[in-house]
Structure 1
Amino acid sequence: MNKLPRASALALSITALLFLPPAHAETKIEPDASGSGVATTLDRLTVTGARATGRTIENSPAPIDVISAQELESTTRTDLFEALNNTLPAWNTPVRANASDLGSMIRVGQLRGLSPNHTLVLVNGKRWHTTALFGAGGLTGQAPVDLATFPTGAIQRLEVLRDGASAIYGSDAIAGVVNIITSQQAEGGEVAYRYGVNDGGEGELHTLTARAGFGLGQEGYINFAIQYDDQDPTITSTDVPLDYPLFFLRDADGNPVVPTGSVWRPQIPEGATLDPREHEVDRGRWRWPINGRRKSELRGFTANAGTPLGESTELFAFFNHARRQAWAPQFFRPVWRDDVVRVIHPDGFQPKEEIREQSVGGTIGLRGSLAGDWQWETSVTHGQDAIRAYIHDSINPTFGLDSQTSFYLGKVRYAATTWNLDLRRGFEVGLASPLELSLGAEARQEDYRKWAGDPQSYTHGGGLILDGPNAGKPYSRAVGYSQALAGFSPDDAVEVGRDNWAVYAGLSLNPVERWTVDLAARHEDYEDFGTASTWRLSSRVELGRRWALRGTASTGFQAPALAAQAHKFTQNSPAGVTYTLQVGSPQAQALGARPLRPEESENYSIGLVFQPWDGASAALDVYRIDVDNRIATSTSISGDSYPGALPLLQSLGYGRADAVSYLLNAANTRNEGVEATFEASSDLGRFGSVRWTAAGNWTRGELRSVAPTPAVLADYDVPVFSRGNSNLLLLLSPKSKQILSADWELGRWSTLLRFTRYGSLERYGVPVGRPASEEVAYTLDPVWITDLDIGFQLNDHLRLAVTASNLFNQLPDRLPAVLTQPGQYYSYPVNGPVSADGGFYSASIEYRW
């Protein structure tokens, strides 16, 4: 890891400071309108950029965005991923990142074009637990926080730090930090209902939120919030064309004939004709719905409380519980395929995957002052995410008529408990303002476990094909699972854990008037890979009444997800079986796998902040982030993609239809970009007032180097990290993104108009069933999206609103025809930020008291 420069000198300085006299100036805390004991500058106060008190958006040395609850409501979606996507140019939430299985039901987000794992999520300043599903969003190697399980109705605001902060918060804060601040409302409340639907009538959304605050004792508060979301699916695919048969073909004598070609590209052999039912069946019934929005239900509950315990101590606590179900349909299995048991599914079948997720987390702690000199805080945060997986309308054909049609696939669970102790004290040392020292220690315990599913979901039953032209023949090993997705076998079951501890320190000072300096250092020890030391230096210099220069240099790291070393996965598709091998398995090591190392980063940014006129603010920031040892998936090695490697696969027990890969430290990357923000307000007199905002992000990524290909793969001309895989590291985000908005208020009316431009996207794809050498490059053109929110306040309590996301129903470019899935006339990409669902229109009613 990066070593802390001049660490001993810094330690001596900190030790000396402990004996300096305390500062007598301190920040005055007053209750706000809700009765909570927070600073009167609550709407602009931030705790994300440094551990020092008194930092605001205006004087922060690093770029920070604050998104209010009102802005979240105007995005029409209750999913935090989409709310961030609609409000922050530096944030990207793909529609779905190349996922068709469990990963497609758990979305991910990116900050500054980096991996989802590189954004740390805090709740009220405390590290939150990640998803249990390793490979969320279809990105193998990723296990970020699932923001979609956090009820937006409980949120007072979001703070987003667009800068590296590992020295402050530890692992994962390479790209930045999202800090969710929950409501501290001590009285009143609200209840709201929203109904929405996509263009064309699909994707109905019902959302119910409620929140209420109550006094706790004389000066405390307790706040409750609930949320229910019911999201229907959308389908963005075409009807199945006639050149993709759903039934057996017929020869001249009327006997059933299997199509030639591959399962992906079936061909009608000479002399064969279509079954008459092909013209009668509803070919829209089996449309390929794997590209649309998933059906899901979310039920969430939160409680947030705080109360004084005497004159100098406060008790605080937070609890969140969320249950979510989601369903993902898979490719239709036509009648002529032998993995269809035709007695059970006479018209073929379409499997549907399901997850049942439960996310629970909470914090309890104490804060106060010690002899008036030291401010202290101690807390414990525990969270866990558990996911049970199922598949319905499926079959394990090797069990014939005895096969189940619904399967329990297994369960995964991730849990983490974090203990924190923080100390802070101000000192008078002859500077322009008191120096503030912060010290802290953290311990974290993590646990990851995977349980096996139903035996039939992963077992070959040994049965023979019951009917059709191949009746009596044995089934291959590739179909000895529940179709569409195999269950976890006892060999897949695993339980791993790890402990780590950290100590950290920070200094915040003003050497002279108008010059702010923040220093931070952190040392961590992980029992599974060793130590990590990081540092951070931020500074802000006011160049005049309206101008300031700011900059940050830091190092960071991201520990491999606990599940990474133990991860292995089996997935079967219409063409064969894909195996993700455990890094330490004999098969992976025979293909060149090595133990995973932490990712390491160096972050540099410099920015200019200025006020063009009173009531307006603007900023321009330039950044560079170098990340080494990026964890990703190796090349997927199969006999189809790399025909010359078939002997190697066969020597390890795999067949032509099998594909194998493993995790590795694949590459060193560099992300560079420019960010610009502008905000101003206009008082239009009797025509109301308008808040104008404009923001943009321009970024590019490059590979600085790629892991060397092991000799065993080089001998078969197989790169260990293919170009297609590297593209997922670099090209998932648009090259640029700009957001322009105007928020107009006039009496009881309010209108928000927002324009978002998503820049071009470079993409690569391999035609289905073709070698990797036939990869196709294509570009998705820029897209402008218009959002509109109109609200009317009927009285002091009741508000109505209508909202349109993608008002003009803009769609992304279609995929090149050569990359279209079988059974489709055309298809849309799923790994860009603009959905093929088109416009979404909703209405809401809100009652406050």
Structure 2
Amino acid sequence: MIPAEAIDHIEVLRDGAASQYGADGIAGVVNIILKKTVSHLDMDAQTGANAYNGDGWQYQFGFDGGLPLGDDGYANLSGQMYHTDHFVQKGIDSRTGVSDDPALSLSEETRQTLSLNAGKHLTRSLELYGFATYAHRHGESYQDYRTPDILPQMYPQGFVPIEALEEQDFAITLGLKGRLPAGFKWDLNSTYGFDDDHMSLKNTANPAYYADYGSSPTKARTETFNHMQWTNDLNISRKFSLGSGRFINLSFGGQHRLEIYHIGAGDPVSYYKGGTQGFAGLMPENAGRWNRDVWAGYIDTDFHPTRKLDIDVGGRFEHYTDTGNAETGKIAARYDFTKRFAVRATISNGYRAPTLLEEHYSALNVTPFGASASLPVNSPAASSLGAQRLKAERSTSLSGGFVMEPVDNFHVSVDAYQINIRNRIAPGGSFQGGAAENAIGLTGATLPGGLASDNVTATYFANGASTRTQGLDIMADYALSLRRYGHLNLSMALNLNRTRISHLATDGTGSPFLNAQQIGYLTTASPRSKIILNAYWTIGKWSVNVRQTRYGETVNNVTYQDQAPAALQYSQSQFHRFVNTPAWLTDLEVGFQATKRIHLAVGGNNLFNVRPRRMPLENSYLGTLFYDNNSAGIPMTGGYYYGRINVSL
């Protein structure tokens, strides 16, 4: 929700971040640095489409401008308007024999974002700063086609329900920072953020409501969600010199965070006797408001016992009013043998409390032949299926590697890592048929008639397993001058990783929380390897960027659907092992500096229209959902081609 035009650069802290930044830093911290530049105005516009499909048209406009506030202040305003049309990958519907089901698609979306970043010295040693973001998003997504027999009185040709989202998101930070006489620096800031989502269905109806009242609304609000966070931070730091190039950096601080999560019910027609077609709205029984406070304190010391050795030790204590206490820490070290070669290593532990959403979220999705429910883990409905109260995730991480510059302008970094996560939170349970129907009934919901019992499922968030992830990251870049043939920047990034289950938890009935399919989502749904090769060449007014990205293999256990043999349909214990084979994707952009202030570019992402493998017909729901949407990596959208103009004033 931050406009890209507002971003100056992005910093990534990968190791031991939880000890300083808290639970959100279990896998590292991404620090987005906003622009502070003044006396300029930059504008950009881009448009393009997925040409192979002929849809998914996109366009965006953006700007970034700054003004000085006196001699020592700045104000930077950025904004973006973005729109994309529906992208639909049509397949032959097994019910009708024609391509009339657009459910395998990407949403239509319109998004407006704004960002303001400002700062000003009040005195020589006191600075006031602040930044704010605002975003509005409207999105619409196709659901499965409903055949004419669902409600012929209203839709004699059948219909496609449309899920709609209306979202408002904003955040504001105000802070003061300065210096104390003893040489300490301090930073006091407060951040308030709020996100509000209103979900609705269009082009829909409730058949049971029509049968009872002779009519049905075609549009209904189905649910609302909003989440608020108010965070207050105080950070203090000082650098102590020990002489001879040695020093100690000391930092410590405290934080308080208030979180509030709210779920609102839908219109009565959206949940009446099975609900509207597309998905059922949330009932008053599903609604509620939950909150918690988080108190934290940390201390971090970075010291150089010698000029070549740097040691960083940190610790953090947190208290959650709903999940208890957490202690995290890290020890990191780096040794520079020469200015061209250094080794580094880190050991740390992390803590992630279950989010309020994971504790309380609920939903009921109804398809033409089935239904799936997500149950609040602390509800009687989930308890009937053996659910237990969520515990926090805890992690232990080890990493080590080296950085080197063997020759000028050639940089290489290599890091190996191992991350153990205990009590990992994931959607758990593999309940179907009567057990799932009974649990859904305990929520107060009524399912529509005519559903295949084996295609009614229920899940809830659970501490499903403990995992071990091992991996290797290699990055390199080389900048070279080609003299009269311009300049060439080459870069390479390689990631190899493997995640395995080290412990599989069981529910209150003694059954494993995760089935083979859910285990696959944690272990093999993401590529085992990824390679990015990039070459950026500039000569005169021209520039060319070529990028090759290789996504490694992904494997998922996919469900047998309506066209499979009856004994396998919708099974939660027997699956088809589906493999998405590795693939290379090519991106190309050519740019031209038309004038001092105008830059033009044309390009293509996934230039040769590479797509994932299609699943067998027996694993494609209704014959139309033929891509494995739970597999990360190769997008189903194929090639995207665009043109862009940048103007700097």
Task: State the TM-score bracket (shorter-chain normalisation).
Answer: over 0.9
Are the structure 2 counterparts of residues 617 and 506 from structure 1 closer, same or farther at C-alpha, using a change threshold of 3 Å? same
The corresponding residue for 2:279 is: 485
Gaps of 5+ in 2: 448-452, 562-568
Is the CA contact 2:521–2:630 (under 8 Å) kept in the aligned structure 1?
no
The alpha carbon displacement at 1:508 in A equals 0.8
The corresponding residue for 2:186 is: 376
The corresponding residue for 1:698 is: 496
Are the structure 2 counterparts of residues 606 and 650 from structure 1 closer, same or farther at C-alpha, using a change threshold of 3 Å? closer
2:519 maps to 1:726: yes
The corresponding residue for 1:397 is: 207
State the one-letter code of the partner of 1:602. T
The corresponding residue for 1:52 is: none
The alpha carbon displacement at 1:452 in A equals 1.2
State the one-letter code of the partner of 1:819. N
State the one-letter code of the partner of 1:733. S
Equivalent residue in structure 2 for 1:161, among 13, 25, 30: 13
SS at structure 2 position matched to 1:388: strand
Within-5 A mapping of 1:669-688: 669-688=467-486
SS at structure 1 position matched to 2:209: helix
2:28 maps to 1:181: no
The corresponding residue for 1:212 is: 65
The alpha carbon displacement at 1:194 in A equals 0.4
Is the CA contact 2:388–2:507 (under 8 Å) kept in the aligned structure 1?
no
The corresponding residue for 1:16 is: none
Give the Cα–Cα distance (whole angstroms) in 2 for the partners of residues 596 and 393 of structure 1: 38
The corresponding residue for 1:808 is: 608
The corresponding residue for 2:450 is: none
Is the CA contact 1:540–1:549 (under 8 Å) kept in the aligned structure 2?
yes
Question: Which one has more relative contact order, counting CA pairs under 8 Å at least 6 apart?
Answer: 1
Give the Cα–Cα distance (whole angstroms) in 1 for the partners of residues 96 and 604 of structure 2: 40
Deviation >4 Å, runs of 4+? 645-655, 825-830
The corresponding residue for 1:85 is: none
The corresponding residue for 1:227 is: 80
The alpha carbon displacement at 1:616 in A equals 1.0
Deviations 1:159-178 (A, max 9, x none): 22333411010012121221
Within-5 A mapping of 1:469-484: 480-484=274-278
State the one-letter code of the partner of 2:401. G
Equivalent residue in structure 2 for 1:761, among 537, 547, 554: 554
2:637 maps to 1:799: no
Within-5 A mapping of 1:419-818: 419-430=232-243, 432-460=245-273, 480-639=274-433, 656=453, 658-711=456-509, 714=510, 719-768=512-561, 769-818=569-618
Higher strand proportion? 2
Give the Cα–Cα distance (whole angstroms) in 2 for the partners of residues 415 and 823 of structure 1: 41
Are the structure 2 counterparts of residues 625 and 666 from structure 1 closer, same or farther at C-alpha, using a change threshold of 3 Å? same
Deviations 1:492-511 (A, max 9, x none): 11101111111101101111
Are the structure 2 counterparts of residues 650 and 370 from structure 1 closer, same or farther at C-alpha, using a change threshold of 3 Å? closer
The corresponding residue for 1:388 is: 198
Within-5 A mapping of 1:229-268: 229-240=82-93, 244-245=95-96
The corresponding residue for 2:564 is: none
Give the Cα–Cα distance (whole angstroms) in 2 for the partners of residues 321 and 647 of structure 1: 42
Equivalent residue in structure 2 for 1:409, among 222, 246, 270: 222
SS at structure 1 position matched to 2:286: coil
Is the CA contact 2:612–2:627 (under 8 Å) kept in the aligned structure 1?
no
State the one-letter code of the partner of 2:232. W
Is the CA contact 2:5–2:78 (under 8 Å) kept in the aligned structure 1?
yes
Is the CA contact 2:222–2:280 (under 8 Å) kept in the aligned structure 1?
yes
Give the Cα–Cα distance (whole angstroms) in 2 for the partners of residues 616 and 829 of structure 1: 39
Are the structure 2 counterparts of residues 647 and 758 from structure 1 closer, same or farther at C-alpha, using a change threshold of 3 Å? closer
Equivalent residue in structure 1 for 2:163, among 353, 372, 385: 353
The alpha carbon displacement at 1:222 in A equals 0.2
Deviations 1:775-821 (A, max 9, x none): 11021110101111111111111110011101111112111232122
Give the Cα–Cα distance (whole angstroms) in 1 for the partners of residues 11 and 117 of structure 2: 18
The alpha carbon displacement at 1:354 in A equals 0.6
2:647 maps to 1:847: yes
Taking structure 2 as the reference length, the TM-score comes to 0.94
SS at structure 2 position matched to 1:408: strand
Are the structure 2 counterparts of residues 184 and 646 from structure 1 closer, same or farther at C-alpha, using a change threshold of 3 Å? closer
Deviations 1:536-559 (A, max 9, x none): 111110122311001111110111
The alpha carbon displacement at 1:529 in A equals 1.1
Give the Cα–Cα distance (whole angstroms) in 2 for the partners of residues 488 and 431 of structure 1: 67
SS at structure 2 position matched to 1:564: helix
Is the CA contact 1:199–1:840 (under 8 Å) kept in the aligned structure 2?
yes
Gaps of 5+ in 1: 1-148, 247-282, 461-479
The total of aligned residue pairs comes to: 630
The alpha carbon displacement at 1:289 in A equals 2.5
Equivalent residue in structure 1 for 2:146, among 309, 328, 333: 333
Taking structure 1 as the reference length, the TM-score comes to 0.72
The alpha carbon displacement at 1:232 in A equals 0.8
The alpha carbon displacement at 1:843 in A equals 0.3
Are the structure 2 counterparts of residues 828 and 628 from structure 1 closer, same or farther at C-alpha, using a change threshold of 3 Å? closer
Give the Cα–Cα distance (whole angstroms) in 2 for the partners of residues 521 and 743 of structure 1: 42
